[in-house]
Amino acid sequence: MSSVIRSASCSDTVPESSMLTVAQARQRIIDDFSIISASEKLNLRNALARVLAEDIVSPVSVPGHTNSAMDGYALAGSGLPRSGDKTFHVAGKSYAGAPYRGQCRTGECIRIMTGAVMPEGTDTVVIQEHIQRVGDDHIRIDGGHSAGQNVRQAGEDIAAGGTVLHTPHTLTPADLGILASLGIGEVRVRRRPRVAFFSTGDELRSIGEPLAEGEVYDSNRYSLYGMLKRLDVDLLDMGVVRDDAGAVRTALTEAADMADVVITSGGVSVGEADYIKPVLEETGAIDFWKIAMKPGRPLTYGRIGNSRFFGLPGNPVAVMVTFYQFVQPALKYLVSGHVSEPLLLTATSESGIRKRPGRYEFQRGIYRQDEAGTFSVGKTGKQGSGVLMSMSRANCFILLPEDCDGIAAGESVTIQPFDTFV
């Protein structure tokens, strides 16, 4: 992806050189993050979606015994007919959980069910659909079967002593099944990141309070809650903080004492009521960035104590875009130590999209897939950074990198589906 800014848009008031590209900002954040080392032991069910803090070595082989993959008859492969057919005496039964204890001799076979242990003297299973019954206790088998067929060998899936899962693997439903199959009931996982967040703004009211002229309900804290909740982090919702240096200072210090990451929204511009920057300068280490992107240009990043701090813009769409583009990858990195590249798709633009080169734009789109499997995408209407309905209607971002100078109808465009943000 190009990270060259060819020219800034006319409304940009700062020189280009003071702006970071999206990729540069993302890299600076990752470079500043360190990985959580603390861990906890959890029972298997609670460990879903958590990151392993230790390698898992298998105490047993899976399968533990050589067993039948099908319902049928177990016999020695060396006794199979090469041509014509052959009759065998059914000498016993081996069921899953109730093995045949005896020896299978020449001319004999053992009735066997899927998962049942292969009896002594057998190495092959002929499935029940391929035999002919002869009386009560004999079967006839024709040629065309091969020795060793339909049998699962002991240790075929997992060998005892082998490393099955490596740290920092994130546990999936399949992994829970694997661990259960090894008889492992508890695993050590990295502790969850702790994230504290609050909104800033004198105009913000909480749900249930009446709105005076010029006041709005605090919606950012709810969209932030939703995005964080899906990431499996420990949340600390600190409410709304007034536009007041003292109040912002107290809230930031408290948040940093409790959390690995502190997130705020609003107050990061350089207006008279924007206190995030001056307070952070005095209580922590600050990087105040302008990022060549739209929406979301002002993003404050820095540290307070041992916490990493994200001062997101106030506009509701900008909050979500900057969260998904910067905060989310950083929070994932914090536990996994791994930067996962987003899954991107190519779609045909249903209409023309106007854009000037200079900033990376994250427009909101709705993508569909036709019967042939081809994706197309259309915009969700008004794209203002305060129009949260544009996010609500959308199922993807339409990615228009810095150097893109617009998209013609029918042209290909890259999209980032929201499903991948879970």
Provide the b/e sequence for 44-55 (b: ≥16 CB within 10 Å): beebeebbbbee
- Which of 265, 283, 322, 380 is in the footprint of ligand AMP by CB under 6 A? 265
Strands 360-369 and 375-379: what pairing? antiparallel
218 binds ligand AMP (CB under 6 A): yes
Whole-number minimum distance, CB 200 to ligand AMP, in Å?
A: 6
Whole-number minimum distance, CB 270 to ligand AMP, in Å?
A: 10
- Which of 72, 119, 193, 267 is in the footprint of ligand AMP by CB under 6 A? 267
316 binds Mg ion (CB under 5 A): no
Give whichever of 231 and 276 is closer to ligand AMP, judged by the CB atom: 276
311 binds Mg ion (CB under 5 A): no
Whole-number minimum distance, CB 271 to Mg ion, in Å?
A: 7
Angle between helices 328-336 and 22-32 (to 10 degrees): 30
Q: Which stretch binds ligand AMP (CB under 6 A): 5-13, 145-153, 168-176, 260-268?
A: 260-268
315 binds, among Mg ion, ligand AMP, none (CB under 5 to 8 A by kind): ligand AMP
Q: Which stretch binds ligand AMP (CB under 6 A): 85-93, 218-226, 340-348, 351-359?
A: 218-226
Query: CB neighbours (10 Å) of residue 180?
Result: 12
Dump the DSSP string for 177-242.
Answer: HHHHHTT--EEEEEPPPEEEEEEE-TTEE-TTSPPPTT-EE--HHHHHHHHHHTTT-EEEEEEEE-
Give whichever of 296 and 314 is closer to Mg ion, judged by the CB atom: 314
Count of residues engaged in binding Mg ion, rule: CB under 5 A: 4
Rg (the chain; Cα; Å): 31
Query: CB neighbours (10 Å) of residue 233?
Result: 19
Instruction: Provide the phi-psi class of 239: left if phi over 0, else alpha when psi is between -120 and 50, else beta.
Output: left
266 binds Mg ion (CB under 5 A): yes
311 binds ligand AMP (CB under 6 A): no
The answer for residues whose C-beta is within 8 angstroms of residue 391's C-beta and 6 or more apart is 223, 316, 317, 320, 364, 380
216 binds ligand AMP (CB under 6 A): yes
Give whichever of 27 and 269 is closer to ligand AMP, judged by the CB atom: 269
Residue from 37, 321, 322 nearest 191 by CA: 37
Dump the DSSP string for 289-312.
Answer: EEESEES--EEEEEEETTEEEEEE
Q: Which stretch binds Mg ion (CB under 5 A): 15-23, 39-47, 96-104, 193-201?
A: 193-201
- Which of 58, 68, 199, 283 is in the footprint of ligand AMP by CB under 6 A? 199
Give whichever of 202 and 350 is closer to Mg ion, judged by the CB atom: 202
295 binds ligand AMP (CB under 6 A): no
d(C-alpha 330, C-alpha 350), whole Å: 33
Task: Please give the residue ranges that form the binding site for Mg ion (CB under 5 A).
Answer: 201, 266-267, 314
